Amino acid sequence: DIIQINRQNIALQKWFEQVIKPYVEIARSQTKTLLPVIHLSGEGQLDADLIRQLIIILLDNAIKYTPAGGAVTFTVEKLRENRLKMTVQDTGAGISAEDKKHVFERFYRSDKSRNAKTGGNGLGLAIAKWIVDEHRGTITVRDNHPKGTIFTVIIPLK
Name which of 66 and 157 has its Cβ closer to ligand ATP: 66
Name which of 4 and 115 has its Cβ closer to ligand ATP: 115
Beta carbon of residue 14, minimum distance to ligand ATP (angstroms, whole number): 27
Name which of 93 and 154 has its Cβ closer to ligand ATP: 93
Beta carbon of residue 100, minimum distance to ligand ATP (angstroms, whole number): 9
Q: Is 2 left (phi over 0), alpha (psi -120 to 50) or beta?
A: alpha
Which spans in the chain are helix H? 12-29, 48-64, 97-100, 111-115, 124-134
Beta carbon of residue 66, minimum distance to ligand ATP (angstroms, whole number): 7
Beta carbon of residue 81, minimum distance to ligand ATP (angstroms, whole number): 28
Name which of 44 and 124 has its Cβ closer to ligand ATP: 124
Tally of helices (H runs) and strands (E runs) in the chain: 5, 7
Residues at the site binding ligand ATP, with contacts judged by CB under 6 A: 61-62, 65, 90, 92-93, 95, 103, 108-110, 113, 120-126, 149
Beta carbon of residue 82, minimum distance to ligand ATP (angstroms, whole number): 28
Name which of 22 and 42 has its Cβ closer to ligand ATP: 22
- Rounded to whole angstroms, the Cα distance separating 8 from 84 reads 15
Task: Report whether 137 contacts 155 (CB < 8 A).
Answer: yes
- Rounded to whole angstroms, the Cα distance separating 94 from 19 reads 25
Q: How far apart are the first and last CA of the chain?
A: 19
